[in-house]
Structure 1
Amino acid sequence: MQIDDTDRRILRQMMAEPGLPTAELAERAGVTTPTCWRRIERLREGGVIRGEEAVIDWPALGWEVEVSLRFTLDKTNPRAFDEFIAAAREVPEVLEIQSFLGSTDMRLQVIARDMAHYQEIYRNRILTLPHIAELDALMLISTIKSSAELPV
C-alpha cells in the first residue's frame, strides 16, 4: 500500500497521542475531519493500522516482576516448536511469545505479582513446557525506552 505525506502526518499524530479524537487528530495533521476519517479507514483496510490497544501499566495493577525467558528447544522432535508454542499460550502470565533464528529459539515475556508468585509460575508452568533444551532468564530491572513509534 502506498502512503503519502498526509498519511504520514496522520500516523505521526496517532503514534504521538493514540487516544486523540478524529477531529483533533485531523486538526493536528492539517486536514479536514472527513478526510482524516477516510484516510484512517483506508490505512486500516490496507493493513497499515492493524488495531488500537490499551497500554497497561502492570506495576500499577500490582504485577511487580517482569522476566524475559529465552529458550533453546530440543529439535529432535519435528513438532517441538508447535507443541512448545501451544503450551506457552496456555500460561496466562505470558504476555508475549516470540520465535528467533540463532542460538535462542523462543522468548517468553512473563509477569508476576512478586518473586514468590514468579517462583510458582516458573516451577509449575514454565519448567513443564515441552521440549526445553536450555533456558535463560533475564529479570527486568528498568525500562529505559519503550516505543512503537518509528519515523514515518
Structure 2
Amino acid sequence: MLDDTDRRILRHYQHAPAAALSDLAELAGVTANTCARRLERMEAQGVILGNRAVIDWRALGYEVEVSLRAQLDKTQPRAFDEFTAAAREVPEVIEIQTFLGRVDLRLYVIARDMVHYQHIYRSAILPLPHITDIEALMHMARIKADEALPL
C-alpha cells in the first residue's frame, strides 16, 4: 500500500518525471535517499510503469485524428486476436481499445491530411479481418487530455 509520503512523491513525479532527484525530494519534503528508495520500490511493485517521451504528432505534420468504432464477426473464435494482430501492423493506428457492448473495438488513427486518411482507410483499415461494421468519428477538439492522477 502507498502511504502519504509515496503519494506526495508520485504527485510531484507525475508532473515532472525528468526533474532531478534532489528537486523531487525537496518538493515532496523528504531526503533524496528516501525519495530514491521509494521510487525504486514503487517501480518494483509496478506502481510506476516507466517514463516516456510525449511527442506532439501535430508538430510532425499529422493534422487529422479519427476514432473508428468497429464491430467484429463474433462467430469467428479468433476474430479479436486476428483483428488486433493485423491492426497493430498499421503504423497510423496509435491506439486500440476493446469494449464489451455494441462496439467491440476502437481504433485511434492519425493522418497527415484527409487524402492521407482516405488512403489509410481504404488500404489498411478496410482490409482488416472480421469487420462487420465500422463507424468513423472525426476528432474536432481535445477538451481534456490529462494523464495525471488525483493523488
The one-character-per-residue Cα deviations of 1:4-34 (angstroms, maximum 9, x if unpaired) are 0010001100122232121111110111111
The one-character-per-residue Cα deviations of 1:75-123 (angstroms, maximum 9, x if unpaired) are 1111100000010011011111111011110111111111111110000
Q: Which residue of 1 is the match for residue 26 of structure 2?
A: 27
Q: What TM-score do you get using the length of structure 2 for normalisation?
A: 0.97
Distance of 1:47 and 1:130 partners within structure 2: 34
Deviation of the 1:151 alpha carbon: 1.4
Mapping of residues 48-127 of structure 1, within 5 Å: 48-127=47-126
The gaps in structure 1 that reach 5 residues or longer are none
Distance of 1:20 and 1:138 partners within structure 2: 38
Q: What TM-score do you get using the length of structure 1 for normalisation?
A: 0.96
Distance of 1:91 and 1:102 partners within structure 2: 25
User: RMSD value over aligned CA atoms?
Assistant: 0.8
The gaps in structure 2 that reach 5 residues or longer are none
Distance of 1:67 and 1:18 partners within structure 2: 30
- The sequence identity of aligned pairs, in percent, is 64
Distance of 2:62 and 2:18 partners within structure 1: 24
Deviation of the 1:138 alpha carbon: 0.9
Q: Which residue of 2 is the match for residue 145 of structure 1?
A: 144
Q: How many equivalent pairs are there?
A: 151
SS of 1:16's equivalent in the other structure is coil
Distance of 2:8 and 2:116 partners within structure 1: 44
Distance of 1:98 and 1:55 partners within structure 2: 20
Distance of 1:142 and 1:17 partners within structure 2: 26
Distance of 2:21 and 2:94 partners within structure 1: 30
The one-character-per-residue Cα deviations of 1:51-85 (angstroms, maximum 9, x if unpaired) are 11111111111111111111110111111000000
